[in-house]
Amino acid sequence: MKNFGRIAVCGCISMYNDSVPQTGPYAQPAILFKQLRMEGFLIFSYEDKPIYEEGQKQLLEWILEVSYGLD
């Protein structure tokens, strides 16, 4: 990461039902020493924006394109 870089964090749903907390490397030292900005992102914050509906349509097209012919 570059100094003053930004990290987008999206998605925690995979851990919602975990009975044991996730373990792994912690990024706090890098965030501190490089003065990074880490910001949460909730897709629901953009539901009322016109581009949200456009994005949903595009995602559906991609899903249909990828799944075409899979049985």
Instruction: Note the pLDDT of residue 26.
Output: 63
Cα 9–Cα 12–Cα 17 angle in degrees, nearest 5? 170
Report the range out of 8-12, 20-24, 51-55 with the highest average pLDDT: 51-55
pTM of the predicted model as reported, rounded to 2 decimal places: 0.39
What is the Cα–Cα distance from 27 to 18, expressed in whole angstroms?
21
Residue range 18-34: mean pLDDT, rounded: 74
Backbone angles phi and psi of 8, in degrees to 5: -95, 125
Distance between CA 64 and CA 71 in Å, rounded? 13
Residue 40 has pLDDT above 90, yes or no: no
pLDDT band at 9 (very low <50, low <70, confident <90, very high): low
